[in-house]
Amino acid sequence: MKTPLGNFRIAEKIGHGAEPGTIFKARVALRPDDPLPDTEDFVTTRILWLDGVDPENANTRDRYIYIHGTKHEDKIGTPDSHGCIRMRNADVIELFDLVDETTQVVIRE
């Protein structure tokens, strides 16, 4: 269940206008009084949901593989997720604003 490699497209952008650090559960922003997810691997700030376009990564969207923010910014650059691409919250906001749905993405080892 590692990060898939190959060619992708951004299938959906989620979180426009959410405050930095907003936690998402099932792609819905949590309100301050909502219970936290049962994980330390929070999806935060913005979500760029990926769709695989190669036969070997065609299940990417069904696996819920995202580019997203994280509360574990100190771990950026080391493998530490179930397949998603984690980014610093400020960086994912910048990327989110720069790309459109259908933007092509290449993930290499």
CATH number, domain with residue 89: 2.40.440.10
91 and 72 in contact (C-beta within 8 Å)? no
Residue-number span of the structural domain to which 35 is assigned:
6-107
Global pTM value? 0.92
Per-residue pLDDT of the chain (109 residues; tens, 9 = 90+): 689 999 999 999 999 999 999 999 999 999 988 988 887 789 999 999 999 999 999 999 999 999 999 998 988 887 777 789 999 999 999 999 999 999 999 999 8
User: Does 49 fall in a domain?
Assistant: yes
User: Does 1 fall in a domain?
Assistant: no
How many domains are there within the chain? 1
User: Does 45 fall in a domain?
Assistant: yes
